[in-house]
Structure 1
Amino acid sequence: MINTLCLDFGNTRLKAAIFHGDQMIQERVLTDGSPETITGLLQEFEPQRSILASVINHDPEIESLLDNQTKFHKLSALTKL
C-alpha cells in the first residue's frame, strides 16, 4: 500500500501526517520546517507521495527534496480542486 506524507505549514504550526492508503497512521506537530526535519520524515516513513500546503515562506529545498524522492504535489491558492 502507498504511504503519503502530508505537510501543512501554517502561520502558527507546522504539521505532518502520514497516510497508509486512506488511513492516517500518524500526525505530528513539527518543531521546525527545516530540510533536515523533512529528510528525517522521508527516511522514517518512506512515502511514495507527498503534498505540501504552505502559507509561509518555507525553504525551497523542501520542495526539491519532496519532488526528488516522492510524487510531489504543492497545494496553493492556484490549485484547481
Structure 2
Amino acid sequence: MPWALTHDDTLPNGVALCPNLHRAFDRYLFWVDDDYRIQLTSDFEEHAGGAHGICQFADRQLQLPKNPAWWPRLENFRAQRATAF
C-alpha cells in the first residue's frame, strides 16, 4: 500500500523496484499474482525492451527473502489488482 496513504514502512508493505518498473506497476502494466509471479496486462506491447524491458519478467516469480515474515503481503497485491480491474 502506498506509504503516502498508510505511513507503513515495514518490509511486508514494500517491494523493491527500479524506477521504470515502479512506474509500470503504478500504471497497472503488470501485477503480482498470489504465487508471487509477475503478470503483464494482455494488451502490453514493448518495442525495444531488451535487457531493460518489462516483458523479460513475465511469469517470473519475485525473488523473495528467506524469511517469509519479510515477504510482501499478498493482500496488498490483491488490493492493487482490485484497483486496476
Write 1 or 2 for the structure with the bigger share of helix: 2
- The alignment's TM-score, normalised by the length of structure 2, stands at 0.26
* Higher Cα radius of gyration: 2
Write 1 or 2 for the structure with the bigger share of strand: 1
- The alignment's TM-score, normalised by the length of structure 1, stands at 0.26
